[in-house]
Structure formats: structure tokens, C-alpha cells
Chain A
Amino acid sequence: MFLQVSKRYALSLVLLSINTDAAQDKFPTREQEDERFSVQLGLFNQSDGDDNLGGNPHIDEEETVFEALIILDKKLSETDTVRYQFLGDLVSSASVERENNEQFQILQSHPSGNERGELSASWSREKTNYTYGFNSSFGAEYSSFFSIGLGANISRPIANDNARIRFAYQGYFDTFEHKQFNGVDGDYVDRFTHTYDIGITQTLTPKSLIDLSLSYTHQSGVLGTTWYSVFVNGQELGEQLPTSRNRSAYTLRYKYALSPLSAIELDYRAYDDNWGLDSDTWEIQYQHYLNNKTILLTPRVRYYDQNSVRYFATDFNSTQSFMTSDPDLGDFTGRSYGIKGTFFDIYWPKDRKAEFSVSFDQYKRSDGLDLYWTTFGYTTRF
């Protein structure tokens, strides 16, 4: 199936990124490590509330996604690393039925199509006093969506290596076919995204770290989801959203070592944009080693609270300049509970030293669009 996907989609590549992974004492040191192979598999299922009335009550929003992420890191020299990455998605949702139903009797909830694939390659360089990188990417996926990305980043230690500051820019040019809710395929439309990040990680004490970051994003072009619709006095019309959006996120993270075997992390993010949406994200996670540090358990709890954009309503009484019924832009709160287990010193296949991970999460949304997901990870280094 992935071979079929590759025939339909162009390769995306040359994504350059900073490799800042810390050396782990259970694996070869960074100086010894030449290659790392990792696989991450995820299975996500979204329900649509009682009687499919969750989120937008006019559409069926049930969805199941299988995702695979495969990465190969190869060290070219003491300073240079290359990364090859494949990301693939198989999507099953009501929109698939709509795409395949010429009468378009089933209202659409998610991208038309049930396959997405992306290939990328990365290069990074790490120097003694600073690290820098450039990235570019090209991607394609179902719904005739193409993307070109460009970015740059730099970081360096300061204060006798007790802090590290970073700055990054990432830009995307997306072009996609304007497929409408009623099955009419429009012309290709464009979207531009510019994101600026600045952050600092500071060592506070021998047992604690803090990380602060600010992110600003400016988007322009067709920013709505082309196949989405709204209902105005019972009549279905296309979603209409502004062609410009400014988005800001402020993040504070704190980590404290409770003991040689355990740590706790507290995260907070404040977000707002000029569409009127603002949100708060709170997360706490606890990490604990077991069995002579061969097992790491990480339970976590996350709370998300969002106020809708100004243009949101489930139903409209009259036509507005901007209208959306996208529940992901509406009012809701989300609570998620999960646990992740990482198992080190596993020898598989045969005598290859590796680590495995497995996680389970439940995400309960106040509008009924609950989400459950599980992931499996495998990493080996040589």
C-alpha cells in the first residue's frame, strides 16, 4: 500500500534540523554512535459522541488513523549528521465515504482520501560553542496538497553552559486544490506560514531545569479547510475564514529531579491569535525508573481549555463575512490521561541492543470528540 502511495505523491526531502539529543548512558556515546534506527507506530481513534452528535452535530466526525514514523540517523563526521525520515498515515473517516460517494450524501468531516505519505532527509552540524542548521522540505499528500518549507535555527550555550538560548525560523508555502464540500473541485489556492521561535533552557540547581519559549506565527492565504461547510438557516454553504492570522504561544516548562530514579515535569502554554481564539494548556508528568533503570514509566495528565474564534457557530441565522463550524476552532476543554513505558536493554532481533516503548492515552473533550491513542516505539543504535 505504501508503494501505491509513493506513486501518487512526490518525495519530500532535504529537511535540515538540529540534532540536540543528549547522550544516554545505556547506548553508545555520541562520539561512538554512528547510526540510529527508530520506528514509531501510532493508532488513533476519534469518536463522535452519543449518536454522532459530538463536535459539529451535522457531520460524522468518527475517524481512525494509523501512523508510522521511521527514522534513520547517520553520523557523517564528528559534527555532521544526516537523517532520513518516512511518515505515513492511513485514515478511515466519514470523509472517505464522501469522496467515494458521487452523490455526496454523507457530510464530510476530514480530508478526502485515506492515504498520506511523506519522505524527508535532514542534515545538521554541531560545533563546540554553537549549533546551527538550515532546512528545506517538499511534501505532498492526498487532496492534492503540496508544500515547500524553508527554515533556519541556531543555538548556543551561555553562562558557563548553565543556559542555552535558541532561535528558529520556519516557513511553509502550501498549495492545494480547493475541493469544496459539495464535490466541486476548484482551482489551486495558496497558503503561506512564517513561524519564529525564541527560547532558553536554564539550569537552576543541580536538580532542576527551566525552559521558556515564545513562538509567533503569521499565516496568509486560504486558511480555512476547503471541504468544510456551515449551515445558514438550514442551507449548507462553504466555510469562510480570514486570509490572515497571527498566532502567539508562550511556554514555560519546569523539571525537577525528585530522586536519582524519578523526576517531575510541569508544563504550561498560553496561546492566542487575532481570530479571537485563546487557550491554556497545563500538563504534569512523572518519570520513574524501575528494575535497575531498565524500565522508565511516565504517567501524565494534561488539561486544555480553549475559547472559540469569533466566527464560530454550530448554526448561523444569517450569512456572515466569516463563518466556521469547525469544532476544533470552537469552545471546549480537553482532559487527557496517559502512561508511557520505555524498556531499555532489550536484545532484539537476536543480539541487537534496543529499546522499546509503548503508550496509552485517553483524551476526553467536552464536546464529545473523544480521542484514544496508543503508540509503539523501537530504537536501536550502532
Chain B
Amino acid sequence: MKLSIVSKLIIAAVMLFVSACDTVAFYEKERLNDPAMQFDSDPLYSQMRQHMLTPREGAIGGFSTIGAGGCSCK
């Protein structure tokens, strides 16, 4: 499924307004502080995995990944 321009703009709008959410107190964040709840909780593994995938696919970026440039592989 490909996103239309409208869908992409909606995502951008959500990014601008989502910061208005203010519902979680600091004492409620115990579960969120668990390593398993972090995006890319193992950054070295994520780095190696994306380093392997990026040269073999046309897409780059996102997922806290390396972008283009810097080596002959991408």
C-alpha cells in the first residue's frame, strides 16, 4: 500500500500536534523505562542490521538508521 501525499501530510500534521498530549505523570512511566520498551533497545544490533539491509534495498532512512553516503555500499 502506498501512501498518498495527503496521507503523508496527515502524518506531518500529527507530528506537529501530538506534542499537545500531556497525560502521563512521571510516576506512571515505570514500564516505559524498561529496555524492552525502547525503540532500538539494542542500537548495535540495529546498526548492523540496517547496514546489511540498506545496500540491498532502494529505500533509506527512518528506523533511526544510517542514511546514504559514507561508503560505497550506499
A209-B32, A278-B2, A357-B42 in contact; A247/B22 too (CB < 8 A)? no
Q: Is the CB of A209 within 8 A of B44?
A: no
Chain B residues in 8 Å Cβ range of A359: 45
> How far, in whole Å, are A342 and B44 apart by their CA atoms in the complex?
13
Chain A residues in 8 Å Cβ range of B12: 214
Q: Is the CB of B39 within 8 A of A257?
A: no
> How far, in whole Å, are A354 and B42 apart by their CA atoms in the complex?
14
> Measured between C-beta atoms, what is the minimum distance from B57 to chain A in Å?
6
A210-B18, A249-B62 in contact; A141/B72 too (CB < 8 A)? yes
> How far, in whole Å, are A202 and B23 apart by their CA atoms in the complex?
11
Q: Is the CB of B45 within 8 A of A22?
A: no
Chain B residues in 8 Å Cβ range of A296: 35-36
Interface residue count on the B side (C-beta < 8 Å)? 55
Is B6 interfacial (CB 8 A cutoff)? no
* Docked complex: B3-41 residues within 8 A CB-CB of A: 3, 7-8, 11-12, 14-15, 18-24, 26, 28-29, 31-39, 41
> How far, in whole Å, are A145 and B73 apart by their CA atoms in the complex?
10
> Measured between C-beta atoms, what is the minimum distance from B64 to chain A in Å?
8
- What 1/0 flags go to A237-253 for Cβ under 8 Å of B? 00000000001111111
A197-B61, A200-B18, A205-B24 in contact; A143/B72 too (CB < 8 A)? yes
Is A106 interfacial (CB 8 A cutoff)? no
Is A204 interfacial (CB 8 A cutoff)? yes
Q: Is the CB of A24 within 8 A of B35?
A: yes
Q: Which of A139, A203, A273, A334 has the most CB of B within 10 A?
A: A203
Chain B residues in 8 Å Cβ range of A114: none
Is A161 interfacial (CB 8 A cutoff)? yes
Q: Is the CB of A111 within 8 A of B69?
A: no
> How far, in whole Å, are A24 and B11 apart by their CA atoms in the complex?
32
In the complex, number of A-B residue pairs with CB atoms less than 8 Å apart: 220
Is A287 interfacial (CB 8 A cutoff)? yes
Q: Is the CB of B18 within 8 A of A163?
A: yes
Chain A residues in 8 Å Cβ range of B23: 162, 204-205
Q: Is the CB of A213 within 8 A of B44?
A: no
Instruction: Choose from A204, A217, A252 the contact partner of B21 (Cβ within 8 Å).
Output: A204
Interface-located stretch among A126-134, A261-269, A314-322, A345-353: A261-269
Chain B residues in 8 Å Cβ range of A111: 72-73
Instruction: Choose from A207, A215, A309 the contact partner of B67 (Cβ within 8 Å).
Output: A215
> How far, in whole Å, are A165 and B15 apart by their CA atoms in the complex?
10
Chain A residues in 8 Å Cβ range of B39: 201, 209, 211, 253, 255, 265
> Measured between C-beta atoms, what is the minimum distance from B52 to chain A in Å?
5
* Docked complex: A328-376 residues within 8 A CB-CB of B: 328-329, 334, 340, 342, 357, 359, 361, 363, 369, 371, 373, 375
> A174-B71, A207-B32, A270-B7 given. 14 additional CB < 8 A pairs?
A46-B56, A69-B48, A147-B69, A201-B39, A206-B29, A207-B31, A214-B11, A257-B34, A257-B37, A269-B59, A269-B62, A271-B60, A280-B1, A375-B49
Question: Could you list some 6 contacts between A and B, CB below 8 A?
Answer: A207-B31, A255-B37, A257-B32, A271-B59, A279-B57, A379-B44
Listed from nearest, the 6 A-B pairs whose CB atoms lie closest are A193-B69, A172-B69, A249-B61, A251-B62, A215-B61, A271-B59
